[in-house]
Structure 1
Amino acid sequence: MGKFKLVALDMDGTVLNEEQKVSERNKKAIGAAIEAGVTVMFATGRGIQSARPFIDRLNLQSPIVTTNGGEVWRAPDDLMKRHQMEAKWIRQMHEMAILEDTWFWAYAVEGVYNRDNWPGDIDSIDWIKFGFHTENLEKLAGIRMELEAWGVFEITNSHPFNLELNPLGVSKASGLIDVCRFLGIEMSEVIAMGDSLNDIAMIRAAGLGVAMGNAQEEIKQAADLVTATNNEDGVAQIIEQYILKQSN
């Protein structure tokens, strides 16, 4: 086997194209990497609920990092670790979102909640991640500044118009470190690919950090290299070059 033993893939904007599909070339490359003995896994901001259809479609039995590191899975139905948000944080951020009139959503063990289906009893729910969305960048910056002052959050995004909140120290990188420990490999043996700020920690920590061609500029600056866009099979191009050529 070559230098890299694990490929960690962000989903939206990375392995999924703009039609929210995995292209045939990406699917073929992922399958070939697995056949070559390399672990291919998702490291996503999505919860397990919305990641599972793609996990099933690709027949992945590998570990998974979901909700930006909020949950780490040994396999799709085998939870390794969960980092929960305090209910009081969720209540305060919900109040802030209402006051600022932004879209908001939150992942919990029990499901996904948003402005359209917000629960009445916040304290009875096991919260994992909260998010804000607004196209008013001045308003978004103000929300971020206030949340930073709390000093308890890891603040990232999965799109320039949103903010995503996890407990401080929880990220895709922290999740990948747990996975590497479980698999008995080093972070230097990991390829990590992504396009948004919630990918930057794992891109910096991986042996090969790859930004998509459609990535936010800050991600491109942090990465070791930039591949093609998610609509141009950028994931497959990296797997073909850095995994499949090594195994031949």
Structure 2
Amino acid sequence: MSKIKLVAIDMDGTLLDDHQQITPENIAAIQKADAAGVQIVLASGRPLAGLKQYLTQLQLWEEDHYTITFNGALVQENATDKTILEHTVPLETFKTFAKLAQTLHLHIHAEDKDRMYTPNRDISKYTVIESALVDLPLHYRTLDEFSPDTHFSKVMMIDEPDLITAAEPKIPATLKEDYYIVKSTPYFLEVMNRQVSKGKALDELAAFLGFKQSEVMAIGDQGNDLSMVQYAGMGVAMANAIDAVKASATIQTASNNDSGVAQAINQYVLS
């Protein structure tokens, strides 16, 4: 077995416990691995701004440290904000899904690395929560107010879980073929460039850093983590992961509330 040189870690339901905190055990294991020269990469649907507090807490807010953001639409160097790779969606995509969202009775917003936008006059509470969670300022803007050359990192259809569940199978097959669409939480259906996934971003970042696939570990719990767990030489599923992630993983670790990240790093990276 190759020595693990890069560990990619999902945030919600993986590194963060149910109180949105990083346990002391997880902090200690990550800092120990980082000190040993292992590249620790947070891989999240959030933008870099929404991860800064955690990266600072983990002492990873430094040059030569990288983060996968927007579920793989962006890979950036921490502290410098230097873009390593980027795959965006154009304004026309936002318009297409805004029309679909209206048909499916869902709210919608779009994000770039600096701001969040919604064309919904009755702004969803989940958009407001997401804006605060990821530290992106929220703007109400009608679709015809955007410049035609506007691009976004991702578009999100958002609403109550029962509405999202009912809407998901009604998305036309042609759109599913043209875009990467993933349910990242029960409240969100995220729409991104077809080239986007955490797995593809992890593959590109590993190549950029000169690491082999066999030298990569990825830890996750939800559908948007599946591609990176499948890609990694060692895919790790949290005890609280969905069945698809568990089925694709090499190993299973403890839950997010029981410092499963630390358990995986201590057992398979540091030992």
Structure 2 length as normaliser, TM-score? 0.83
Moved more, 45-54 or 122-131: 122-131
Partner of 1:65 in structure 2?
A: 68
Q: Look up the equivalent residue of 2:265 and give its one-letter code.
A: I
Question: Does the CA-based 8 Å contact 1:46-1:66 persist in structure 2?
Answer: yes
Partner of 1:140 in structure 2?
A: 167
1:27: how far off? 0.4
Given the alignment, which residue of 162, 173, 191 partners 2:217?
A: 191
Question: Does the CA-based 8 Å contact 1:140-1:162 persist in structure 2?
Answer: no
Moved more, 4-13 or 157-166: 157-166
1:104: how far off? 2.7
Structure 1: runs of 5 or more not aligned: none
Partner of 2:103 in structure 1?
A: 99
Question: Does the CA-based 8 Å contact 2:14-2:261 persist in structure 1?
Answer: yes
Partner of 1:110 in structure 2?
A: 114
Partner of 2:134 in structure 1?
A: none
1:95: how far off? 2.3
Partner of 1:175 in structure 2?
A: 201
1:230: how far off? 0.6
Give aligned-pair identity as a percent: 32
CA-based RMSD of the aligned residues comes to 1.8
Partner of 1:217 in structure 2?
A: 243
1:122: how far off? 3.4
Moved more, 119-128 or 219-228: 119-128
Partner of 2:127 in structure 1?
A: none
User: What SS does the aligned partner of 2:218 have?
Assistant: strand
Q: How does 1:1-248 map to 2 (within 5 A)?
A: 3-60=3-60, 61=62, 62-76=65-79, 77-114=81-118, 115=120, 116=123, 117-120=139-142, 121-123=145-147, 125-133=150-158, 134-136=160-162, 138-143=165-170, 145-146=171-172, 148-150=173-175, 151-245=177-271
- In structure 2, what is the Cα distance between the partners aligned to 1:158 and 1:95? 21
The number of equivalent residue pairs is 242
* Change beyond 3 A, Cα 1:138–1:180: closer
- In structure 2, what is the Cα distance between the partners aligned to 1:122 and 1:17? 38
- In structure 2, what is the Cα distance between the partners aligned to 1:20 and 1:239? 20
Structure 2: runs of 5 or more not aligned: 124-138
- In structure 1, what is the Cα distance between the partners aligned to 2:110 and 2:47? 10
Question: Does the CA-based 8 Å contact 1:106-1:130 persist in structure 2?
Answer: yes
Moved more, 50-59 or 207-216: 50-59
1:138: how far off? 4.8
Q: Look up the equivalent residue of 1:66 and give its one-letter code.
A: T
Partner of 2:129 in structure 1?
A: none
- In structure 2, what is the Cα distance between the partners aligned to 1:194 and 1:37? 22
- In structure 2, what is the Cα distance between the partners aligned to 1:161 and 1:140? 11
Question: Does the CA-based 8 Å contact 1:132-1:164 persist in structure 2?
Answer: yes
- In structure 2, what is the Cα distance between the partners aligned to 1:26 and 1:192? 15
- In structure 1, what is the Cα distance between the partners aligned to 2:157 and 2:86? 22
User: What SS does the aligned partner of 2:185 have?
Assistant: coil
Q: Look up the equivalent residue of 1:226 and give its one-letter code.
A: Q
Question: Does the CA-based 8 Å contact 1:9-1:15 persist in structure 2?
Answer: yes
- In structure 2, what is the Cα distance between the partners aligned to 1:110 and 1:126? 12
Structure 1 length as normaliser, TM-score? 0.91
